């Protein structure tokens, strides 16, 4: 390849006119930086349906959380997302030399798989918040479910393909932690249901309120990564329940993805 850097973006992505300039500045800071991805922005919604607006706002909150986690793990982010990313040509060439291809066309989350490959080769991966890009998001439950199950399923398949190594071990541990927390959530909900149905009284420890306060403040802090934060998004975070239900849906999507991967069901877009 004749170029030092290559831009990759999704077909539905709009990029800022200074994205490439900022990407070059970022990737030139470290010779071991193999790829840098953009801030995860969401296009404005034209719909006036309350249900579609709700899904849109929930995902704006979620995408802000994604960006905050990328800042926290700079140098080794989980995935160099395909929304908009700039790769070092030398890094991609190494991937091709080792695996005989750059993208794994058999995997439905090729950006995550490529990120794992880069890390296994010793390259760093990061995100640059000055690289602004915006994508479309699903605004119906059906389409959101399909997208997220596809993401989770692809991620699980990547780990099954690459196995356990010094790069993927943390990913495996995150999946184990997810399963443990999901089981605990189910047990807590079951316990609360039994107590309420039997007419018992719930004794809430003061530490519970402290935990809720910390989680709420953390969520509000992460909203700073959303562009032009809306009042309703602050309300959703403060109300706790709406986003908690959204996270329960998130858990259900991931559990279903486990089943699809275990049964080797056909990947579908």
51-99 pLDDT, tens digit per residue, is 999 999 999 999 999 999 999 998 999 999 999 999 999 999 999 999 9
> For residue 15, what are the β-bridge partners?
133
The two most distant CA atoms of the chain are separated, in Å, by 73
In order of 30, 140, 163, the CA distances from 176 in angstroms are: 33, 30, 15
Q: Look at residue 7 and give its three-state secondary structure.
A: strand
- Residue of 18, 169, 9 lying closest to 87 (CA atoms): 9
∠ CA 145-62-157 to the nearest 5 degrees? Answer: 50
Given a contact cutoff of 8 angstroms between Cβ atoms, the answer to whether 141 and 246 are in contact is no
Given a contact cutoff of 8 angstroms between Cβ atoms, the answer to whether 162 and 116 are in contact is yes
pLDDT digits over 247-265, tens only?
A: 999 999 999 999 999 998 8
- Residue of 150, 151, 135, 138 lying closest to 51 (CA atoms): 138
Given a contact cutoff of 8 angstroms between Cβ atoms, the answer to whether 41 and 32 are in contact is no
- Does residue 1 register a pLDDT over 80? no
CA-CA distance, 126 to 30, in Å (whole number)? 11
Given a contact cutoff of 8 angstroms between Cβ atoms, the answer to whether 112 and 37 are in contact is no
* Helix-, strand-, coil-residue percentages of the chain, each rounded to 5: 60, 15, 30
Phi, psi torsion values for 7, nearest 5 degrees = -95, 135
pLDDT confidence of 117, banded at 50, 70, 90?
A: very high
The pLDDT value given to residue 147: 96
Q: Length of the chain, please?
A: 269
Given a contact cutoff of 8 angstroms between Cβ atoms, the answer to whether 174 and 128 are in contact is no
Q: Look at residue 11 and give its three-state secondary structure.
A: coil
The pLDDT value given to residue 256: 97
- Count CA atoms within 13 Å of residue 99 on its CB side: 19
pLDDT confidence of 125, banded at 50, 70, 90?
A: very high
For 83-99, the DSSP string reads TEEEEEHHHHHHHHHHH
Phi, psi torsion values for 75, nearest 5 degrees = 105, -20
- Does residue 201 register a pLDDT over 90? no
> What is this structure's pTM?
0.91
């Amino acid at each position: 390849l004749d170029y030092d850097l290559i831009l990759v973006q999704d077909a539905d992505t709009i990029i800022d006119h200074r994205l490439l300039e900022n990407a070059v500045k970022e990737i030139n800071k470290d010779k071991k930086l193999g790829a840098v991805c953009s801030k995860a922005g969401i296009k404005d919604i034209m719909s006036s349906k309350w249900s579609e607006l709700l899904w849109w706002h929930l995902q704006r909150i979620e995408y802000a959380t994604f960006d905050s986690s990328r800042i926290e793990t700079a140098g080794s982010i989980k995935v160099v997302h395909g929304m908009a990313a700039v790769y070092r040509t030398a890094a991609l060439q190494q991937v091709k030399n080792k695996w005989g291809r750059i993208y794994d066309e058999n995997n439905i989350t090729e950006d995550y798989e490529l990120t794992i490959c880069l890390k296994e080769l010793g390259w760093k991966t990061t995100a640059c918040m000055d690289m602004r890009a915006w994508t479309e998001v699903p605004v119906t439950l059906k389409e959101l479910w399909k997208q997220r199950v596809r993401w989770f399923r692809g991620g699980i398949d990547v780990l099954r393909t690459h196995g356990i190594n010094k790069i993927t071990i943390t990913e495996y541990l995150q999946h184990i932690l997810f399963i443990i927390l999901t089981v605990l959530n189910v047990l807590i909900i079951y316990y609360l249901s039994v107590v309420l149905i039997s007419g018992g009284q719930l004794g809430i420890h003061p530490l519970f309120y402290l935990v809720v306060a910390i989680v709420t403040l953390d969520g509000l802090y992460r909203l700073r990564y959303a562009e032009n934060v809306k009042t309703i998004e602050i309300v959703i975070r403060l109300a706790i329940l709406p986003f908690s239900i959204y996270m329960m849906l998130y858990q259900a999507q991931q559990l279903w993805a486990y089943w699809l991967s275990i049964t080797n069901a056909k990947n579908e877009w």
